Structure 1
C-alpha cells in the first residue's frame, strides 16, 4: 500500500458534457485530514462523485486507494467502494431496520459471511462512534447527530483506506456538528485518512487542517491567511 491515498494529475472533472473542474493536481497522503471547500455549484460534489466512481474521469490521470480512476470499469466500482468509506449529508440509513441490521446489510452486501465476526465488527465500529448501546434503535428514534454517527460507523465497516465525507455536518446544528467532528477527528487520529467536503467554516477554524478549495473551475490548496506571502 503506497503512502499516497489519492492523486490526480492534470485531471478534468466533467458532469456529462459540462466541464466542472480543470487541471486538477492534488495529492492526499495516508493519515491526512483534508477539507474540501467552495461555494455551492463550484464542483465539490462532482469531484467527490468522481472519486467514488459515480462520474467517470475523462481526462488526466487519477489514482485512489491504488485503483486507477481513468481505467475504472463499471464492474470494478463495488470493489473501489469497499476500499472507501462514504458518509453523506443525509445519512442514507434504511428506516425499516434497526441500527445493527443497517450495518449487517452492508456487511452481507460486501461479502461477509461469518456471524460472529460480523457481530464483533459491528460492536467495534459502533464503539468507535460512541453508539454501542443504541444498536437496537431504529434510525427514526435517533437524533440527527446520532444518525450521522451510525453513518460514520457504517463507513468504517470495511476498514476503508480513505473516508469521503460529503457535507457530513450539513444537516446538523452547530453543537452536534462539533460532536460529529470530534468523532471524525478521533477516527483520523487512529490512522484513517479523511477527505471532508464542508460549508462549515467554523469547523475549519476550530480544527484547522489541509484545505482544498473549488473556485472558478479550479481546485487548489489554500494556505491559512497568516502564512501567505504578501
Structure 2
C-alpha cells in the first residue's frame, strides 16, 4: 500500500466564502512530477495556497506530507512548510543580502544552529542548481533565471518531501525557462516529488508528465496525446 505525498478527497477550495474549486480527488505519489495547468483565475494558486497552509481546508479531507489539512492548526504551519519546498514566480529573495545569506536566513528561521552544517547545506543546494560559485553575489547582480535557481535551492534546504512550484518560469524568457526546467527535472530524477503550476504549454510538450487541469471549478487529469 503506497503512502501518497499528497492526497485530497472530495475537497472544495474556498477563497473566503467563495468556492473556487469543487470535489477534488487526487493523489500524488512519491517521486512523481505533476503539472497543474489552467487559465488565470481557474484556481491553481488557490489550490497551492491550501496545500501550504495559506488558505484553510474547509470541506473534504486531505493529507500532505503526513499533515492533516482539515485539522491544520496555525502553529503547525511552519512545521508543514519545512517538509515542503515552495517556489514562487517572483523569486522572493531578500535584496539586502547575498545569496548565501539569503539561504542562511531560511535555515536559521527553520531552527538550524550549527554554522558548519548550515554552510555545508548551502553549498550542497547551490551545487544542485548550478549556482555554486554565485553565493557571494546579491540578487540584483544575477539574472532572473539565476534568481529562480537560487529560489529552487532555497526550496531544497530542508530536504522537502514535496516541492510546490507556482509558475516558476512565469517571469522568464523561453530559453531561461528551459534551463530552470532542466534543474527541476534533475531534482525530480534525484527523488524529489514536484507539483508545478504552469501556463507554459511548450514546456509540457518538451517534458511530458502527469498533468492536472483546473477548468470550470474542477480538476481533472489530462491525457497527453502523442505528438
The bucket for the TM-score relative to the shorter chain is over 0.9
Secondary structure of the residue aligned to 2:5 is: strand
- Residue 221 of structure 1 deviates from its aligned partner by 0.8
Structure 1 residue 56: Cα displacement: 0.3
Separation (CA, whole Å) in 2 of partners of 1:152 and 1:33: 15
* RMSD, aligned CA: 0.9
Residues 1:218 and 2:218 aligned together: yes
In the TM superposition, residue 226 of structure 1 has moved relative to its aligned partner by 4.6
Q: Secondary structure at the match of 2:41?
A: coil
For residues 90 and 50 of structure 1, the distance between their equivalents in structure 2, rounded to whole angstroms, comes to 19
Q: Note the C-alpha offset of 1:224.
A: 1.1
1:7-51 residue CA offsets vs partner (Å, 9 max, x unmatched): 000000000000000000000000000000000000000000000
Partner of 1:54: 54
SS in 1 for 2:27: strand
Match of 1:163 in 2: 163
1:154 corresponds in structure 2 to 154
**Which consecutive residues of structure 2, in runs of 5 or more, have no partner in the other structure?**
none
Q: 1:140, 1:176 → 2: CA distance? A: 17
Q: Deviations over 1:136-189 (max 9, x none)?
A: 000000000000000000000000000000000000000000000000000000
Task: Please give the secondary structure, in 1, of the residue aligned with 2:170.
Answer: coil
1:209 aligns with 2:209: yes
Structure 1 residues 158-197: aligned runs within 5 Å: 158-197=158-197
Residue segments in structure 1 that go unaligned for 5+ positions in a row: none
| Corresponding pairs, count | 226
Cα deviation, residue 117, structure 1: 0.3
Corresponding residue SS for 1:225: coil
Alignment of 1:106 with 2:106, yes or no, is: yes
Return closer, same or farther for 1:37/1:120 CA change in 2, 3 Å cut-off.
same
C-alpha distance in structure 1 between counterparts of 2:225 and 2:126, whole Å: 38
- Separation in structure 1 between the aligned mates of residue 4 and residue 193 of structure 2, nearest angstrom: 10
